[in-house]
């Protein structure tokens, strides 16, 4: 469905608001144009030579007050209803967008810049809200007003009306041109806004590196350049908005002068009365207002459409990693996981080749290998962060292809500890219970104890309710790791994927983290990317990855005896590690 159709469907979802809003708009238009119509009677009465009675003036005055009163009420009604509808639509879209972002796969997020996504939420939604409101009030409030005024004008003097009709298309053409110019600028401007947001996001989250490397000046210059670029786009919009207004007004003035001159001629030659002329002129100048609004209307609509396109670009992004039709619920693991990958790549050269692994239930499988050999990539296939393309391999759990299982039933069985620890700006409690929000205090404490996190948590001033800062920055590296292990523990899933963090810890926390990891692996089927000797030693089988291939497999002792790649890695990596037992 095209973007305008999608938007129309959203609007039609609010029929009540729409209906009453339109009713108020029609009345508002009528009350607004009424003075133009009655001007004739007033002027003709005054010009008839007879002295009118005082009471008639009072009556007219009373009429005016009443008119403005009703005009006010109908303005409130239409403005409130239309704006609240606009905001409701935006609220719905915002939620849709957020849900879509939650669902879109890792691949999408790897490519999409955060700043750009955020600006689609902020600036794009705001300008769309404006456009939705204007799109409705333009044709429903301003257009009828223009039509009624034109009607009054034609009724009062067809000669003057014809003259006006000749002049109107010029204004129409100008309005159209300004609108198109603005849409172009807006599209570019919104994407620049995304760039700026991105820069901001990166600098703020990387502030420690920025400061440590003395790059404040560099970042400031980068920001200044982006900021200026954005400024120039805004300036362009401002320019269009600013010159389109006086140009239109000037055109209006020229038209007014022509009408005035021609009108004088008609009165002198007795073709129309002074009242006709006054009524016509009032209607003519009253048209200025809705026409100018119509100009603003097209500008805003074009801006809004540019934004709507950016929003729907995300909403309509295909999600290749989703439940396929006929997806089955995956039963809890009974026997084994099998990972068979002929080839996997990220769009370039192969990252994984000829992988064929079996992970029996309850076993610990370790992956080791040089940096960049494909360990994390391999582990990411199991929870379907990426799918192996059809025909390039298959991953099964008890014989069921995971691509044919529902994502929930698959991921529900997997606890994950990632290489880069992800924590949220929330309390210790909410970070641990992240996969099981409703767990009780006992379960929470148990998980914390098993992960060797209980002691440091209880030393916090607020214990489990301690806020840990953005990305857990108020914690030490080892504490962060143990929290992420607690989180995996509380999920209590049968399958564990553990991508050990490579960051070195001091011997004391290293020991605690190791002990936590051992507890975490108990009674689970584990796929562990091992950087620690103790983890490797506990493994039932170790696979050595090199450039995407498994080149050696066996137990720690067997592999050492082979004196191959593992032996070499061991010499480099593990030799200095403290060995238990
Ligand atoms: N999202 C991605 N898009 C494109 N290429 C990627 C992506 N992720 C990883 N790669 C590439 O794939 C290869 C394997 O990366 P991977 O993260 O699996 O290595 P790793 O074995 O986990 O390394 P490390 O021990 O350093 O964590 C690398 O060459 C990397 O550059
Ligand atoms: Mg890795």
Structure confidence by residue, pLDDT tens digits, 152-195: 889 988 988 998 888 778 777 877 787 777 777 877 887 788 78
Ligand 1 cavity residues, CB under 6 Å: 110, 346, 351, 369, 371-377, 419
Sign of CA dihedral 349, 351, 357, 359: negative
Residue 548 Cα: closest atom of ligand 1: 14
Residue 419 Cα: closest atom of ligand 1: 27
Give 3-state DSSP helix, strand, coil % of the chain, rounded to 5. 65, 10, 20
For the chain, the domains span 3-315, 332-409+539-581
Q: Which one has a higher pLDDT value, 379 or 170?
A: 379
Residue 380 Cα: closest atom of ligand 1: 18
For position 550, what pLDDT does the model report? 96
Residue 578 above 60 pLDDT? Answer: no
Report the separation in Å between the CA atom of 372 and the middle of ligand 2, taken as the mean of its atom positions. Answer: 7
Report the separation in Å between the CA atom of 568 and the middle of ligand 1, taken as the mean of its atom positions. Answer: 21
**332-409+539-581 placed in CATH 3.40.50.620:** no
Task: List the Cα angle 114/119/121 in 5-degree steps.
Answer: 100
For position 525, what pLDDT does the model report? 95
Rounded to an integer, what distance in angstroms lies between the CA atom of residue 431 and that of residue 373? 31
Looking at residue 171, the DSSP 8-state letter turns out to be H
What is the pLDDT averaged over residues 386-414?
93
**pLDDT, averaged across the chain:** 87
For position 228, what pLDDT does the model report? 92
The confidence band for 513, taking pLDDT boundaries of 50, 70 and 90, is: confident
Residue 1, C-beta contacts closer than 8 angstroms, at least 6 positions apart: 9
Report the separation in Å between the CA atom of 420 and the middle of ligand 1, taken as the mean of its atom positions. Answer: 13
The confidence band for 581, taking pLDDT boundaries of 50, 70 and 90, is: very low
Residue 89 above 60 pLDDT? Answer: yes
Task: List the Cα angle 227/230/232 in 5-degree steps.
Answer: 110
Residue 338, C-beta contacts closer than 8 angstroms, at least 6 positions apart: 356, 357, 358, 359, 394, 395, 396
The confidence band for 94, taking pLDDT boundaries of 50, 70 and 90, is: very high
Q: What is the CATH number of domain 3-315?
A: 1.20.1560.10
Q: What are the structure tokens assigned to 191, written together? A: 């994407």
Nearest CA to ligand 1 atom 17: 376
| Residue found under tokens 């309509």 | 316
The two most distant CA atoms of the chain are separated, in Å, by: 124
């Amino acid at each position: 469905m095209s973007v305008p159709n999608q938007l129309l469907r959203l609007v039609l979802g609010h029929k009540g608001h729409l209906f009453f809003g339109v009713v108020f708009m029609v009345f508002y238009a009528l009350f607004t144009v009424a003075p133009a119509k009655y001007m004739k009677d007033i002027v003709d009465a005054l010009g008839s030579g007879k002295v009118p009675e005082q009471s008639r003036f009072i009556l007219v005055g009373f009429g005016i007050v009443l008119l403005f009163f009703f005009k006010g009420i109908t303005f409130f009604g239409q403005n409130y209803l239309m704006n609240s509808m606009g905001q409701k639509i935006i609220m719905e879209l915002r939620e849709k967008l957020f849900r879509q972002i939650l669902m879109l796969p890792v691949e999408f997020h790897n490519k999409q810049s955060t700043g750009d996504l955020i600006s689609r939420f902020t600036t794009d939604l705001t300008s769309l809200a404006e456009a939705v409101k204007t799109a409705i009030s333009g044709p429903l409030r301003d257009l009828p007003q223009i039509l009624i005024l034109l009607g009054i004008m034609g009724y009062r003097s067809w000669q003057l009306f014809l003259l006006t009709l000749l002049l109107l298309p010029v204004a129409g053409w100008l309005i159209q041109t300004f609108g198109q110019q603005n849409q172009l600028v807006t599209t570019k401007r919104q994407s620049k806004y995304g760039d700026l947001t991105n820069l901001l996001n990166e600098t703020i989250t990387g502030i420690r590196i920025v400061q440590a490397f003395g790059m404040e000046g560099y970042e400031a210059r980068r920001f200044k350049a982006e900021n200026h670029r954005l400024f120039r786009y805004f300036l362009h919009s401002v320019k269009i908005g600013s010159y389109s207004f006086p140009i239109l007004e000037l055109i209006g003035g020229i038209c007014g002068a022509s009408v005035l001159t021609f009108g004088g001629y008609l009165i002198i030659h007795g073709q129309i009365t002074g009242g006709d002329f006054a009524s016509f002129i009032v209607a003519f100048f009253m048209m200025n207002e809705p026409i100018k609004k119509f100009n603003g209307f097209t500008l805003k609509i074009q801006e809004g459409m540019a934004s709507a396109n950016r929003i729907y670009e995300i909403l309509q992004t295909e999600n290749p990693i989703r439940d396929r039709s006929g997806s089955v619920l995956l039963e809890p693991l009974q026997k084994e996981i099998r990972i068979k990958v002929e080839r996997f790549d990220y769009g370039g050269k192969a990252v994984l080749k000829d992988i064929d692994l079996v992970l029996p239930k309850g076993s610990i499988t370790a992956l080791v290998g040089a940096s960049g050999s494909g360990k994390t990539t391999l582990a990411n296939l199991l929870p379907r962060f990426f799918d192996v393309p059809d025909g390039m391999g298959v991953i099964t759990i008890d014989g069921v292809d995971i691509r044919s299982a529902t994502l929930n039933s698959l991921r529900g069985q997997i606890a994950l500890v990632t290489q880069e620890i992800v924590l949220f700006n929330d309390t210790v409690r909410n970070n641990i219970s992240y996969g099981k929000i409703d767990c009780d205090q006992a379960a929470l404490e148990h998980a914390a104890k098993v992960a060797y996190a209980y002691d440091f948590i209880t030393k916090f001033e607020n214990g489990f309710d301690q806020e840990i800062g953005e990305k857990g920055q108020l914690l030490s590296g080892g504490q962060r790791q143990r929290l992420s292990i607690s989180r995996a523990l509380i999920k209590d899933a049968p399958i564990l994927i553990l991508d050990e963090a490579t960051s070195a810890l001091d011997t004391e926390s290293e020991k605690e983290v190791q002990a936590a990891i051992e507890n975490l692996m108990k009674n689970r089927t584990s796929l562990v990317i091992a950087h620690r000797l103790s983890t490797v030693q506990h493994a039932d089988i170790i696979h050595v990855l090199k450039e995407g291939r498994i080149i050696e497999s066996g137990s720690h002792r067997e592999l050492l005896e082979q004196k191959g790649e593992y032996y070499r890695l061991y010499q480099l990596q593990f030799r200095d590690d403290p060995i238990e037992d």
